[in-house]
Amino acid sequence: MPTVLATAVVGCSSTGDQYSEHERDLANSDLGRIPNAEVIISSDQPIGQFLAAIDVRIQLWMTLKASGKAKDDRRRESLEAEIQRFVSVRADELVFELESGPLRNRWIAAAGLGFARDEEVLGPLLAALGDSNRDVVGQALFGLGIRADADTPLDPLLEELRSAFEGYVRVNAAYAIYRVARAGGRDADVGPALRRALLDSEAPVRVQAARTLGVIVDSDAVDDLGGLLSDPVDMVFLSALDALSALAVGDISLEGPVARELVTALDEAPTTRREFLRREAAKLARNDYGGDMKYWRRWAFGLP
């Protein structure tokens, strides 16, 4: 299945044919092993075995990253460093497989190359967006997101976000755009494309689009992000809330419009969301009016 990440590097050593320390930890953790998966990795394995081992590690890395648990951070960082080290050593072979290999090799290589240190892999990953297989395209977007290179041109990523039929491809495109933008990449078309993506049927696309609009401080996005404060998916709501706060911090002229979106939502929100909205409004107002909507409205609608 294609890799989808809807969301750190330290050094470590591996012992080739032996299990590394973090692999023993993983085997004994509550995550367990992936059934029937080969976890041994070495730099001189045949390319098929090597790619299979890389694929297992990427899946484990994603599981650890998604857990959100502090106890998994060290394992994830160690695992990421091992992926990076092995992929970097064999980056040329992975590029060859990405360009010429069978389907399974192409899509594992596309994801794996995102961890490579070699600057020369950016071109092949971008070229893979033209692959005839959409799973490979999705994997290449994932790789570009992991790579998070500010020099990545955003045009082809935006095109996938706008036009891809497959939800997982749009998810990975939105993720890649967010990561590139956070690294400093910019494009004139990114704001309009992301504002349209706030209406995407896939919740992770809406999440990443909202986050990116906050990163680039898109002054035209206040109304659109305000609309997401009533999104039925909590993560979308929280991402829109964070993005609105980032806009108010990044552009003082947006304090008033953002305040009014927050207070309007606060007045209408279900109880489970009111505390989040009140907290952000209080940060912006530098005062907490508690549950008295009269004072919140007076503050918000009194701003320019």
Give the per-residue SS3 of 57-86: HHHHHHHHHHHCCHHHHHHHHHHHHHHHHH
Cα dihedral 74→88→174→158 (10° resolution)? 160
What pLDDT does 241 receive?
Answer: 97
Structure tokens at 67: 């857990």
Alpha carbon of 243 to those of 9, 50, 256, 265: distances in Å?
26, 40, 15, 15
More confident residue, 291 or 245: 245
Structure tokens at 35: 């059934």
Structure tokens at 170: 């749009």
pLDDT digits (tens, 9 = 90+) for 41-84: 888 899 999 999 999 999 999 998 888 788 888 889 999 999 99
Q: In one letter, which amino acid is 268?
A: E
Q: How far apart are CA 170 and CA 200, in angstroms?
A: 9
Give the torsion sign (CA, 230, 233, 234, 239): negative
DSSP annotation string for 135-172: HHHHHHHHHHHHH--TTS-SHHHHHHHHH-SSHHHHHH
- Decide if pLDDT at 111 tops 60: yes
Residue 133, SS3 per DSSP: coil
pTM of the predicted structure, to 2 decimals? 0.86
Count CB-CB contacts under 10 A for residue 230.
Answer: 15
| pLDDT band per the 50, 70, 90 thresholds, residue 5 | low
Q: How far apart are CA 222 and CA 82, in angstroms?
A: 41
| pLDDT band per the 50, 70, 90 thresholds, residue 156 | very high
Q: Contact at 8 Å (CB) between 122 and 151?
A: yes
Q: Contact at 8 Å (CB) between 82 and 57?
A: yes
What value, to the nearest 5°, has the Cα angle with vertex 235 and ends 229 and 237? Answer: 5
Q: In one letter, which amino acid is 39?
A: V
